[in-house]
Amino acid sequence: MSENDLEKRIDQVERELRRIQQQYEEALSFSNSHPKIALSQARIALEAICKQIYESEGLAPHGHRWVQGNLPTTRMELDALIKAIEKTGIVPKIYLINMCTVQHLGNYGSHDQGYEAEYISAKNVKTCLEALSTVVDWYFQAYHKRSSYTHTVHSSTICSTHDGNTLGLAVLTIADLHARGRTTGTIIDDLIGIDYRTLSGAQEQDVGTTNSWEPIVDNNTDGMRFVVDSDSRIIAYWHFLPLNDDAYLKAKSGIMDDGTLTLSDMNIIGPPGDYNMYFMIISVMQQFRGVKVLRLLLDAFVDDLLELARLDIYFPEMCATSFTDEGDALCRTLKMQAVMKHKHRGTVYSLPLKNCPDSLFYREELRQRYVERYKTARAST
């Protein structure tokens, strides 16, 4: 294996570990509020672990341990994955027992149980999550030798308060996350995971893929901010793109799918002047929603506008597409005006930033700079 191939393999494993970590945390997040969802999500996390082991141990077709009857992971049920892994002797028996516990309880939570659904309780969920926790411990510590990941997983707690200080939240740039050891790919994996959890019915055309977003994000570092907890997990973020004129017109006309955007649809922020802002998303994980987290996001956005204005970079208008009732409510709160329906679903909104709307221009320096920039245009209208 060449050095380049090894680096790609390591990066792929890192992304997979991060994805499994997120799925485990999501199972925890639903443990009290939605027991059935917690059971189902625990099963999904276990399936991701088993698929990764199955692939890593060469059990899939073309792998060095392939045997007759082994199929690609996309065609393997969880029960078959566990049995195939068991035959290798890689996983100690005690962890296989815990895997089966998660599988059975997860299956129970994933299907209609009729009147018996009332027996799904917090105690059942605790049993399932404790079994999953045992498997996750082994998977990160023993199988992958990653004690740091185990700490991150088990420090996940679901807090009932939205107090930013209590939660230890911070607003970071993508450069800050890179400095903490995160790659662009793993950051995007987190964001896509948040998108699927917060956008009901989202499809790939709506959220895109890690490969499609990576060059866009790397060339638009000023267009994103992240709220992270004390373990540097992203719990909320916003993202805007400086689209070129053609792409911006498509976005404002409701014929642009976010997941299909490419680098060719963008301008690169740098030279002084006016840019089109397509505000793609502002997203907060359910358990962290509240005025303080939202205000952290909005303050970060306003401060970003100010920093760019100091570099003579301005946005006369922004538009956004809302896909949810919550998104519609936020757009109205920010005094954005509905323009039209999106071709698939949702509503397109716009806001003339050159008019310095009070909803966003609560920093006096920002207001003054925009007033000075657009005073001639304002006087002519």
Name the class of domain 164-380.
alpha beta
Whether residue 159 has pLDDT greater than 50: no
Q: How many CB atoms lie within 10 A of CB 201?
A: 9
> Do 3-154 and 164-380 fold alike per CATH?
no
Spatial separation of the C-alpha atoms in residues 114 and 116, rounded to whole Å: 5
Work out the mean pLDDT of the chain and round it to a whole number.
82
Burial of 127 (0-12, 13-18, 19+ CB in 10 A): middle
Whole-number Å distance between alpha carbons of 303 and 299: 6
Contact 172, 233 (CB under 8 A): no
Give me the pLDDT at residue 109, please: 65
Structure tokens at 258: 């976010």
pLDDT at residue 229 is higher than 80: yes
* Through-space distance between the first and last CA atoms of the chain, rounded to whole angstroms: 65
The predicted pLDDT at position 206 comes to 63
Cβ atoms of residues 293 and 225 within 8 Å: no
139 pLDDT exceeds 80? yes
Q: Is the pLDDT of residue 366 over 70?
A: yes
Closest of 89, 73, 93 to residue 81, by C-alpha: 73
Indicate the pLDDT class of residue 367, thresholds 50, 70 and 90: very high
> CB of 59 within 8 A of CB of 87?
no
Helix (H) or strand (E) holding 111, with range, is: none
Residue 160: its pLDDT value, please? 30
Position 378 scores a pLDDT of 53
Among 18-22, 183-187, 252-256, 262-266, the least confident range: 18-22
CA distances from 233 to 14, 145, 172, 299, 357 (A): 15, 20, 11, 20, 32
Dmax over CA atoms of the chain, in Å, equals: 78
How do residues 38-97 score in pLDDT, each as one tens digit?
888 888 889 989 998 988 888 887 776 676 667 887 888 899 999 999 998 999 999 999
Secondary structure (3-state) at 346: coil
- Return the domain boundaries, the chain: 3-154, 164-380
Please answer whether residues 230 and 351 qualify as being in contact, where contact means their C-beta atoms are separated by less than 8 angstroms: no
CATH number of 3-154: 1.20.120
Q: What is the pLDDT of residues 291-324, one digit of tens each?
A: 889 999 999 999 999 999 999 999 999 999 998 8
Residue 149 pLDDT > 50: no
Angle CA 319–324–325, to nearest 5 = 105
Higher confidence at residue 45 or residue 37?
45
pLDDT value at 107 more than 50? yes
Beta-carbon-side half-sphere exposure of residue 358 (alpha carbons within 13 Å): 1
Rounded to two decimals, the pTM is 0.59
**Residues above pLDDT 90, as percent of the chain:** 43
